[in-house]
Amino acid sequence: VTIPYRRMAGVPTSYPDPVHIAVIGGTGIRALKDFTLAATLNVDTPWGPPSSPISILHHPSPTSGKPIPIAFLSRHGLDHEFAPHEVKNRANIAALRHIGVRTIIAFSAVGSLLEEIRPRDFVVPDQIIDRTKGIRPFTFFEGGMVGHVGFGDPFDEGLAKIVRRCGHSLEGEGVTLHDKGLVICMEGPQFSTRAESNLYRSWGGSVINMSALPEAKLAREAEIAYQMICMATDYDCWRGGEGEDVNVEMVMGHMKANAENAGRFIGTVLDELSKEEHGEQVLAKHLAGQTKFAGGITKPEGRGKEVVEKLKWLFPGYFD
């Protein structure tokens, strides 16, 4: 199936098993090629519905041949109708955790802030600077439940190692991969000024997007291992040559031209993650339980009823 996963006649609307791995598709990635659509889920969450229905895709395990379910969610909606500040981040992450997801591979089209990261290159980032403006809902812990999770390393290093290996295995076949990178996550939806772009370069920024946050923060609160794969589509506006400033046409043009490689990259990562040897990593056992303590700081008598109910839905057994 290559079209965006709308509700299709005959496709089940429920799925019997937990789904551990998810892909969040960004700009230009609204579906995954060569997967069988097993179900389309309309999950409602205490934070409202997610940006899109969740498609459950079947992918044969490269070791056992058994079908492995993968959840796919379209960050900006099936028709790219949600601007970066309108993306239903809390509902997206909550819905994914609710169906069993503990590993997310998130894809993002980014501007490059470095000469050596050329359009169509891939980057597996390891750091983020938050330049969003506080207008996006960014936590599950508010309204009478205080929670503080660690975010020193905003991406999951175990997952990053696997993703990098997969990317390198495709090098020479049209894929160029940069192993590390600092993502500047800006508010948007307007692109940056030239002064801002230069400022981010002076901070050591490698790439810029509008969607790493709060997605990555919410995934951490939800104890989900999260790694973003970025694909450069432009040089933002710092390079300054004629006709070089980023625009949507440029972004979409590079995404379309390199969609095949992006799809192969994601497919290789899913193949690898489907191997039994990565079972513990995929289940993010290293994160399990952290939010029970990080989110349990508010004394029971001070807890907000409404938020407690929401959190019970998201973390059954944590805040009883």
Ligand X SMILES: Nc1ncnc2[nH]cnc12
**Chain residues that interact with ligand X, rule: CB under 6 A:** 109-111, 186, 191, 208-210, 233-234, 236, 246, 251
Q: Per-residue DSSP letters for 238-282?
A: TS--TT-S--HHHHHHHHHHTHHHHHHHHHHHHHHHTSGGGHHHH
Contact assessment for residue 261 and residue 120, using Cβ atoms and an 8 Å cutoff: yes
Alpha-carbon gap, residue 23 to 96, rounded angstroms? 10
Q: How far is the CB of 224 from ligand LNRAV4D5 (least distance, A)?
A: 18
94 binds ligand LNRAV4D5 (CB under 6 A): no
> Is 14 annotated as belonging to a binding site?
no
Measured in degrees and rounded to the nearest 5, phi and psi for residue 41 equal -105, 135
User: In this chain, which stretch among 7-15, 39-47, 203-211, 305-313 interacts with ligand LNRAV4D5, using CB under 6 A?
Assistant: 203-211
Strand partners, 67: 60
- Helices (runs of H) and strands (runs of E) counted in the chain: 9, 11
User: In this chain, which stretch among 140-148, 170-178, 205-213, 290-298 interacts with ligand LNRAV4D5, using CB under 6 A?
Assistant: 205-213
Q: How far is the CB of 152 from ligand LNRAV4D5 (least distance, A)?
A: 23
Distances (CA, A) of 189 to 83, 86, 177, 184, 186: 7, 10, 27, 14, 9
Q: How far is the CB of 32 from ligand X (least distance, A)?
A: 20
Which among ligand X, ligand LNRAV4D5, none contacts residue 126 (Cβ within 5 to 8 A by kind)? none
Alpha-carbon gap, residue 250 to 288, rounded angstroms? 41
Alpha-carbon gap, residue 88 to 77, rounded angstroms? 9
**Which of 227, 177, 187 is closest to 208 using CA atoms?**
187
Known catalytic residue at 320: no
Q: How far is the CB of 76 from ligand X (least distance, A)?
A: 12
> Is 236 annotated as belonging to a binding site?
yes
Specify the 3-state DSSP secondary structure of 221. helix
Per-residue mark of binding to ligand LNRAV4D5, 11-50 (x: CB under 6 A): ---------------xx-----------------------
Q: How far is the CB of 80 from ligand LNRAV4D5 (least distance, A)?
A: 8
Q: Which is nearer to ligand LNRAV4D5, 26 or 119 (CB)?
A: 26
Which among ligand LNRAV4D5, ligand X, none contacts residue 261 (Cβ within 5 to 8 A by kind)? none
The residues, ordered by sequence, that sit 6+ positions from 184 with a Cβ below 8 Å of its Cβ are 113, 128, 129, 131, 200, 203, 205, 207, 208, 209
Known catalytic residue at 236: yes
Q: Among residues 121, 126, 156, 234, which one is catalytic?
A: 234
Alpha-carbon gap, residue 226 to 133, rounded angstroms? 22
> Is 234 annotated as belonging to a binding site?
yes
Distances (CA, A) of 203 to 3, 10, 135, 206, 282: 39, 52, 23, 9, 33
Residues near ligand LNRAV4D5 (CB under 6 A): 26-27, 75-76, 84, 108-109, 188, 209-211, 248, 251
Query: Which residues carry out catalysis?
Result: 234, 236
Q: Which residues are annotated as a binding site for substrate?
A: 210, 234-236
Q: Which residues are annotated as a binding site?
A: 27, 75-76, 108-109, 210-211, 234-236
